[in-house]
Amino acid sequence: MKVLLEGKCPRCHEGDMFVHPLKKLHKFSDMHEKCENCGLRFEVEPGFFFGAMYISYAVSVAIFIGVSLALNIFMTDPPLWLYLLVIGSLALLLLPFTFRYSRILFLHWFGGVKFQKEFSGKA
């Protein structure tokens, strides 16, 4: 779980997938081409991360539904412009998070790469 949260390589659990920390919002999408520790190429095949859009979509829909329900419960049927403003703003604020973690989850779940102790410095 810690490997997913920190965005580490699925093979060695040590190398970072992304060049900059999430705090650097203007460069949140910069990924390493290969793991700096074990050399695993992160983009398994050309266009591999297009599949991560499905995870991003599912996360976005969950956020939209949760915010819509919260607005409806706490404000008892607010106007449409408020829904659009709050949900649109939240979608933009969470874009770096959903982008990164959809790629991290997609690589770990569907990349066909398993943890191998021999690539880890902890072996």
What's the pLDDT tens digit per position in 61-99? 999 999 999 999 999 889 999 999 999 999 999 999 999
How many Å apart are CA 25 and CA 18, to the nearest integer? 12
Q: Which residue has the higher pLDDT, 120 or 9?
A: 9
Burial of 107 (0-12, 13-18, 19+ CB in 10 A): buried
C-alpha atoms less than 13 angstroms from C-alpha of 115 in its C-beta half-sphere: 11
Q: Tell me the torsion sign for CA atoms 75, 79, 82, 83.
A: positive
Q: What is the pTM for the complete model shown? A: 0.84
